[in-house]
Homo-oligomer: A and B are copies of this chain.
Amino acid sequence: MAGSVTMTMVARAAGVSVSTVSHVVNGTRPVAPATRQIVLDAMDRLDFTHRPVARSLAAGSTTTIGLAISSLSTTYWPELVAGFQEEARRWNLQLLVAATAEDNIHEERAVANLLAHHIAGLVITPAPNWQDTTLRLLREHPIPFVIVDRIQDVKADQVGVENETSSAAIVDHLIQRGHTRIAMITGLEGLTTTEERRAGYLRAFRHRGVEVDPTLLVPGGSTESGGRRAMVELLARSDPPTAVFSASDSMTVGALRALREANLTVPDDMAMVAFDEFPWGDAFEPRLTTVAQPCFAIGARAIQMLRRRLEDPSLPPQTLRLSPEIVHRSSCGCR
């Protein structure tokens, strides 16, 4: 069996009691240096490894953090999870992952499962309409949690980015370049990020005192196929836009595919800017001008906030908005 050396065995080998061993392991009460050393030696000799399940049961707590993440595909999530990973590793926290598939029913089940595992805390990217399912569950079984990406209108710890400002900025860039018919492919409805990015788009026009044609907002559902459909639809119009702002990575891929299939080139036939950066953005054409989120930092920050909360549950909830960076390339028509 794996790690079958128990504290009892160490205690016997060291000629002390289990409680002493427990205390040297956890540093939970002073132990005489000499005794301590004897125990340490015995642990070493027998190759003792702690058994977290037993500790969890006895102590009523875990060092495992639950991750309820919508998906692992696309480019955004992996980097985020890498951030979780790295920060968790630094603090010896384990990560239990569960995918929620952007669906509040799946999500509730996933979270229930994580809760059953008696996790110390939870990191979640809320699905649309989670208020009546997952959030309710979380209120019934209160554990520390932090919301990531889709910042909500609830009292909780949250990390995300400035969606509105950065969207406005990148759209304004298109306006400044002289575009008047700028379409937006919007994300999945019910996500706060979708709302905020749309607000940014609208704000850019309002700021310039330009009227927005509401038909230029096309839903893309945050998926590749949705992005493709949206672009196809835009191209089929009698007065297609001259520029497009895509609100997330997968949709951007779909939209570009649609352009390719129509034999149109970016930026010559259609200018394009997008939310979310592609790690390979410099290697392929078109070279997209994007809003780059600090994914890794967001992930790391989420874990830090959770740790803070675990240490002091009485702290006031904190909402953190990191600033994305606008990566200026050529798809907007510049250069």
Q: Roughly how many angstroms separate A53 CA and B62 CA in the complex, as a whole number? A: 9
How would you classify the secondary structure of chain A's contact residues: helix, strand, loop or mixed? mixed
Stretch at the interface among A36-44, A77-85, A176-184: A77-85
Q: Roughly how many angstroms separate A89 CA and B109 CA in the complex, as a whole number? A: 11
> How many residues of chain A have a CB within 8 Å of chain B?
55
A94 to chain B, nearest CB (A): 6
Which one, B71, B85, B282, contacts A97 given CB within 8 A?
A: B85
Q: Is there contact, CB below 8 Å, between B95 and A51? A: no
Which one, B2, B3, B253, contacts A280 given CB within 8 A?
A: B253
Q: Is there contact, CB below 8 Å, between B94 and A99? A: no
Q: Is there contact, CB below 8 Å, between A141 and B85? A: no
Given contacts A79-B73, A82-B99, contact A50 B2 (CB under 8 A): no
A–B complex contacts, Cβ < 8 Å, 10 sampled? A3-B141, A53-B57, A64-B117, A73-B79, A74-B78, A77-B78, A85-B97, A224-B279, A253-B279, A285-B285
Binding site for B on A (CB under 8 A): 1-3, 49-54, 56-57, 60, 62, 64, 71-74, 77-79, 81-82, 85-86, 89, 94-99, 112-113, 115-118, 141-143, 224, 253-254, 256-257, 260, 278-280, 282-286
